[in-house]
């Protein structure tokens, strides 16, 4: 029989783990944290424009992929290390912290200015990558694979904790289902279950879960109502021109609407949005 998860279990830390990304910015506490930005960093103007929108809307974290895991080798593969530098610079100028996906531990030197290292759905069981990130003692965002069970997801997180890294945030991003109308099927029950069963913060990515812009704001509000710790959403200044995932990218106005709608939903579950009043401290980190 496969030995089950141990260190991630809530019984190990009933009060829950808080993962700090910067002074004044932690996941797993009362504050609900929104991470937003384009699927991929495309150029300086695009990521700079996105960063300005993300900061102005009141989000805490700027996302942007630079090492992209694309299904086709002929699709845009990302700007690599140069893209990570553009992301880190754009985030810093706006007092944001950055999250970006790492595909290979050999690329770690490029991720110096990145507060949160994302392990994507396709790499959830890349055990060599998990073991390398376990050594780092840096925050890791671990996405659930499209066909992973909750136990497999928690065991992937267990690799990070077993190797000594407790700074782990879980992210549900939809499972492959039978419904062609959406890109994946958002498994909110799995996210709530992971939150109950582990002491780790849990967030949701409704962008990859649905593949459809118009579904992202309503499902984001459901995530907030479900008592989870935050969101990872795609937003592009001009989705029609996006090199990747344009159909699921929020417009700047959609992100503003989401951020205006969140406080009332969060108040109903005794939570509050992360406050940009803290941004100065983040910028001075």
> Closest separation between CB of residue 40 and ligand PEP, Å?
7
Helix runs in the chain, H state only: 44-57, 81-93, 127-134, 150-162, 188-197, 206-210, 213-225, 252-268, 279-283
> Closest separation between CB of residue 65 and ligand PEP, Å?
4
Taking CA atoms, 157 is separated from 26, 62, 162, 169, 198, in Å, by: 18, 23, 9, 9, 10
* Residue numbers 46-65 binding ligand PEP by CB under 6 A: 65
* Residue numbers 181-210 binding ligand PEP by CB under 6 A: 205, 208
Q: Which is nearer to Mn ion, 39 or 266 (CB)?
A: 39
* Residue numbers 118-177 binding ligand PEP by CB under 6 A: 120-122, 143, 173
Closest chain position to ligand PEP (CB): 120
Helix runs in 94-167, H state only: 127-134, 150-162
Max distance between CA atoms of the chain, in angstroms, equals: 52
Q: Which of 26, 39, 53, 116 binds Mn ion (CB under 5 A)?
A: 39
Give the interface size with ligand PEP as a residue count (CB under 6 A): 11
Q: Which of 69, 104, 164, 218 binds ligand PEP (CB under 6 A)?
A: 69
> Closest separation between CB of residue 173 and ligand PEP, Å?
4
How many C-beta atoms surround the C-beta of residue 179 within 10 A?
A: 9
Cα 26 → chain centroid: 13
Cα–Cα distance for residue pair 141/119, rounded to 1 Å = 6
Q: Which is nearer to Mn ion, 118 or 126 (CB)?
A: 118
Q: Are strands 168-172 and 202-204 parallel, antiparallel or unpaired?
A: parallel
According to DSSP, residue 30 is labeled S
Q: By rule CB under 5 A, what string of x and - marks binding of each residue 193-232 to Mn ion?
A: ----------------------------------------
Please identify, among the stretches 38-46, 67-75, 86-94, 145-153, the one whose residues bind Mn ion according to the rule CB under 5 A: 38-46
Q: Which is nearer to ligand PEP, 122 or 131 (CB)?
A: 122
Cα–Cα distance for residue pair 7/159, rounded to 1 Å = 9
Contacts of 70 (CB under 8 A, 6+ apart): 76, 77, 244
Is there a contact between 136 and 157 (Cβ–Cβ < 8 Å)? no
Q: Which is nearer to Mn ion, 8 or 231 (CB)?
A: 231
> Closest separation between CB of residue 1 and ligand PEP, Å?
29
Q: Which of 42, 101, 158, 229 binds ligand PEP (CB under 6 A)?
A: 101
Q: Which residues bind ligand PEP (CB under 6 A)?
A: 39, 65, 69, 101, 120-122, 143, 173, 205, 208
């Amino acid at each position: 029989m496969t030995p089950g998860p141990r260190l991630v279990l809530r019984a190990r830390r009933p009060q829950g783990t808080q993962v700090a990304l910067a002074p004044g910015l932690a996941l797993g506490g009362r504050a609900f944290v929104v991470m937003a930005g384009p699927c991929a960093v495309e150029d300086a103007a695009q990521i700079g424009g996105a960063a300005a929108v993300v900061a102005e809307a009141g989000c805490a974290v700027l996302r942007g992929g630079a090492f992209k895991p694309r299904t086709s080798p002929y699709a845009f593969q990302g700007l690599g290390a140069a893209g990570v530098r553009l992301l880190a610079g754009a985030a810093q100028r706006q007092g944001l912290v950055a999250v970006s996906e790492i595909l290979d531990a050999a690329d770690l030197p490029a991720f110096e200015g990145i507060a949160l290292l994302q392990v994507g759905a396709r790499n959830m069981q890349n055990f060599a990558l998990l073991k390398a990130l376990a050594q780092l003692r840096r925050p890791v965002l671990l996405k659930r694979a499209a066909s992973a069970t909750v136990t497999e997801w928690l065991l992937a997180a267990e690799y990070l904790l077993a190797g000594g890294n407790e700074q782990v945030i879980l992210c549900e991003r939809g499972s492959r289902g039978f419904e062609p109308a959406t890109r994946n099927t958002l498994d909110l029950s799995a996210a709530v279950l992971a939150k109950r069963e582990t002491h780790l913060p849990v967030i949701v990515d409704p962008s990859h879960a649905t593949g459809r812009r118009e579904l992202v704001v309503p499902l984001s509000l459901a995530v907030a109502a479900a008592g989870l710790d935050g969101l990872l959403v795609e937003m592009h200044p001009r989705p029609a021109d996006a090199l990747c995932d344009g159909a699921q990218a929020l417009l700047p106005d959609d992100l503003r609407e989401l951020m205006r709608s969140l406080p009332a939903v969060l108040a109903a579950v005794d939570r509050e949005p992360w406050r940009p009043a803290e941004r100065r401290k983040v910028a001075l980190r």
